Structure 1
Amino acid sequence: MPLPPSLMRATALAALATSLGLAHADNVIKIGEINSYKAQPAFLEPYKKGMELAITEINAGGGLLGKKVELITRDDNANPGDAVRAAEELLSREKVDVLTGSFLSHIGLALTDFAKQKKVFFLAGEPLTDKIVWQNGNRYTYRLRPSTYMQVAMLVPEAAALKKKRWALVYPNYEYGQSAAATFKTLLKAAQPDVEFVAEQAPPLGKVDAGSVVQALADAKPDAVFNVLFGADLSKFVREGNTRGLFQGREVASLLTGEPEYLDPLKDESPNGWIVTGYPWYGIQTPEHKTFLAAYQAKFNDYPRLGSIVGYSAIKSLAEGIKKAGSTDTEKLITSFKGLQVPTPFGRITYRPEDNQSTMGGYIGRTKNEGGKGVMVDYRYLDGAKFQPTAEEVKKLRPAD
């Protein structure tokens, strides 16, 4: 029995829509990205701009494998469960080719496990926990940013050179903070056997009672302080520390504080002389950074933050991996990322075959309050490859793929 004309037209339109959809899908490489945009805007708004700049440059150059590149982002609400649900939706509904993103360490770990279960390629851009490439590492997951271990290892020689015996520690009470503190104690004790750790404060992330934390540290009478707080927690800690004199006559070594997203909000409260990791965008004179800086400022009429570097370099890493693989096939990407070299604004980096960790390094220097604004001075770039465990050590830390 022939179909009625109206049903024939509807069927034909449905078939046309399907074919157009497939044609569109075949002509686009989709990158699915998941992050804590609402919870951590200081870092992740610049991060997203960095990704957008990279996508613009790639598409202006003809795309990848002759296809346009599309970025599809989702907010994880700073919740591991929501992150996994977002990843599921990106794969099943949006049909993304690869996954990237995450900021908070516990969310990065959730997505690392998701990648293993679903056998999908995942590039962790920002989360710093060592477990992503060591204890919980898997063949589907790579990580861009220097890990907690790497960044602490960059700070420890500076801390040991101070020859301060009594140290106090303050860190956010979740995976990143806990591992940063544990690594600092281990590495500093190895470098300076007579060191004593006289106080530890571990407030919940985003909920620091700065007055009581500062007072508890001051009561321990340390010679120096190791700080891992960042964002709003850092601002509160610095304000109370300045008010109560915690930093007077004491050295401070501080992870992340030299990053503009955390140093800039301190304004005239910015501390002087802290040893920090960070990003002095205003003073880096390498050709690759000058090119990036000019392109970023032209597109956004703003200066980059460290998040901008990480977002940009994550997309560029995926682009290089896809080009080398000649495909977005997961197995081919896994192979192409082994030893993959990527040009970034910080210079060329390599994804180590031993643990899927990139060799991106970082800047270390001192803070200075310059006319009511915090800047980094006396800084230098440290190559991440020099602050990573050996291949033999990694074998003990990481399960076999």
Structure 2
Amino acid sequence: MNRRQTLSLLGAAALAAPLAAAVPALAQTAPAQTGPIRVGEINSYTGLPAFTIPYRQGWQLAVEQVNAKGGLLGGRKLEVISRDDAGKPDDAVRVAQELLSNEKVELLAGTYFSHIGLAVADFAARNKIPFVAAEPLTDAITWSKGNRYTFRLRPSTYMQASMLVEEAAKLPAKRWATVSPNYEYGQSAVTWFKQLLKEKRPDVEFVAEQWPAQGKLEAGPTVQALAASSPDAIFNVTFGADLAKLVREGEGRGLFKNRSVVSLLTGEPEYLDPMKDEAPEGWIVTGYPQEQIDTPEHKAFRDAYTARFKEAPRQGSVVGYATLTAIAAAVEKAGSTDPEKLVEALSGLSISSPFGPVVFRASDHQATMGAYVGTTTVKDGRGAMKDWRYADGAAYLPSDEAVRALRPAN
């Protein structure tokens, strides 16, 4: 082979190399354009099964309905790749990275605990991937630590505290005590309840605060300390097993006798049902009286959920269902899985949920989903809600102008 032939062959090889390299690249991108749309979902399944199992069933129902109607973007299936965060922010960030790098998810969703939601929100911002936070209630996730890529579905601590303060302000109580888990969610809830109640009732004072570690409430000492402060009323933020222990010990020691109790989340079936006939009577709560709600959108959801899982929905069921409904709607609105287009689609997105219309506000990425406010009672041997009303979340949010002072520019 002479020198001219050698150079020709080398030149041809050099031209062919980029083309050869492009072939595998095209083969890799084609499935992403025609294959399933993958959502990376993260939650505390092992730590909070009472909420997260119904939540998972809710999003499973939404995915099945979307795919039964032909999928998204002209026939692509919706697929959820789920991971457990073990109740630890570091684990949540680790699995978020694994979902993004190995599973090639298009966006992230889920989380329950507020500090975990904040960790995933920070990851989403750094990696420029959309994150629909389903359950974490801290206001920081949409305000002080809000970012372009994070959106939150459930009504926040500010919103639910505002709903409860409306009722608390009507009570004759002047001396208040609080009991709350000592982490981001509990701290945020107590802060807003105190501030908002004092705005409506300058005559009230807060005489005691109890801050048990989440999941480790020592009921005896906590109840004793609350009673020692002689409050007229108590604001409770505990939930799950801690709530059950507080109720049982408080009833036994007479803590709640002739005292008003205002309680966040206590009317949700996942927390009322385990207490059965030991559920408290007359507490003012936010919750979910699912068997009593007969709006067309809720009835359709309840019927479909009950038929699929052979049990009634819980609050978590609604949250899971609405989260994936919102993601599917955002993908269709964007006409793409491009992260920047998905962010634009989520901003101002309107969806129909089992609770009625919901909008993700453009100003702070907070959804306008509301909550049911009523009082607890015992009916047929189990806890229930009565005298309830639906509080539309849009009515309990600060204005867009006020949000600008609360949220960093991004």
Normalization by structure 1: what TM-score? 0.94
- The separation in 1 between residues aligned to 2:93 and 2:405, in whole angstroms, is 29
Matched, 1:254 2:257: no
Matched, 1:44 2:39: no
Count of aligned pairs between the two proteins: 386
**Residue in structure 2 matched with residue 28 of structure 1 by the alignment:** 36
**Residue in structure 2 matched with residue 386 of structure 1 by the alignment:** 395
**Residue in structure 1 matched with residue 71 of structure 2 by the alignment:** 63
**Residue in structure 2 matched with residue 10 of structure 1 by the alignment:** none
For residue 325 of structure 2, the aligned residue among 312, 316, 324 is 316
Cα deviation 1:173-214 (Å, max 9, x = unaligned): 000001101111000000000101111100000100011000
Same amino acid, percent of matched pairs: 58
- The separation in 1 between residues aligned to 2:339 and 2:103, in whole angstroms, is 17
- The separation in 2 between residues aligned to 1:301 and 1:186, in whole angstroms, is 43
- The separation in 1 between residues aligned to 2:191 and 2:78, in whole angstroms, is 41
For residue 349 of structure 2, the aligned residue among 321, 324, 340 is 340
- Secondary structure of 2:266's aligned partner: strand
Matched, 1:128 2:151: no
Q: CA deviation at 1:69?
A: 0.8
Cα deviation 1:61-98 (Å, max 9, x = unaligned): 00011201111100000000000000000011000111
- Secondary structure of 2:364's aligned partner: coil
Cα deviation 1:253-282 (Å, max 9, x = unaligned): 000000000010111111110000000000
- Secondary structure of 1:138's aligned partner: coil
Q: How does 1:189-338 map to 2 (within 5 A)?
A: 189-338=198-347
Cα deviation 1:202-243 (Å, max 9, x = unaligned): 000010001100010011111100000000100100010010
**Residue in structure 2 matched with residue 113 of structure 1 by the alignment:** 122
Q: CA RMSD in A?
A: 1.4
**Residue in structure 1 matched with residue 62 of structure 2 by the alignment:** 54
Matched, 1:153 2:159: no
- The separation in 2 between residues aligned to 1:30 and 1:370, in whole angstroms, is 43
- The separation in 2 between residues aligned to 1:295 and 1:269, in whole angstroms, is 31
Q: CA deviation at 1:20?
A: 9.2
For 1:58, give the aligned amino acid: V
- The separation in 1 between residues aligned to 2:335 and 2:362, in whole angstroms, is 19
For 1:138, give the aligned amino acid: N
Matched, 1:163 2:181: no
**Residue in structure 2 matched with residue 374 of structure 1 by the alignment:** 383
Q: CA deviation at 1:392?
A: 1.1
Unaligned runs of 5+ in 2: 1-22
Normalization by structure 2: what TM-score? 0.92
- Secondary structure of 1:222's aligned partner: coil
For 1:354, give the aligned amino acid: S
- Secondary structure of 2:213's aligned partner: coil
- The separation in 1 between residues aligned to 2:29 and 2:106, in whole angstroms, is 16
- The separation in 2 between residues aligned to 1:187 and 1:62, in whole angstroms, is 47
- Secondary structure of 1:74's aligned partner: strand
Change in 2 beyond 3 A, CA 1:24/1:111: closer
Q: CA deviation at 1:372?
A: 2.2
Q: CA deviation at 1:120?
A: 0.5
- The separation in 1 between residues aligned to 2:32 and 2:97, in whole angstroms, is 21
- Secondary structure of 2:169's aligned partner: helix
Q: Which protein has the larger Cα radius of gyration, Structure 1 or Structure 2?
A: 2
- The separation in 2 between residues aligned to 1:103 and 1:337, in whole angstroms, is 20
**Residue in structure 2 matched with residue 3 of structure 1 by the alignment:** none
Is the Cα–Cα contact under 8 Å of residues 270 and 372 in structure 1 kept in the other structure? Answer: no
**Structure 1 stretches of 4+ moved >2 Å:** 18-26
- The separation in 2 between residues aligned to 1:41 and 1:361, in whole angstroms, is 23
**Residue in structure 2 matched with residue 143 of structure 1 by the alignment:** 152
Q: CA deviation at 1:26?
A: 3.0
For 1:243, give the aligned amino acid: G
- The separation in 2 between residues aligned to 1:238 and 1:25, in whole angstroms, is 53
- The separation in 1 between residues aligned to 2:321 and 2:257, in whole angstroms, is 39
- The separation in 1 between residues aligned to 2:258 and 2:111, in whole angstroms, is 38
Matched, 1:399 2:405: no
- The separation in 2 between residues aligned to 1:131 and 1:163, in whole angstroms, is 32
Q: CA deviation at 1:339?
A: 1.1
- The separation in 2 between residues aligned to 1:203 and 1:319, in whole angstroms, is 39
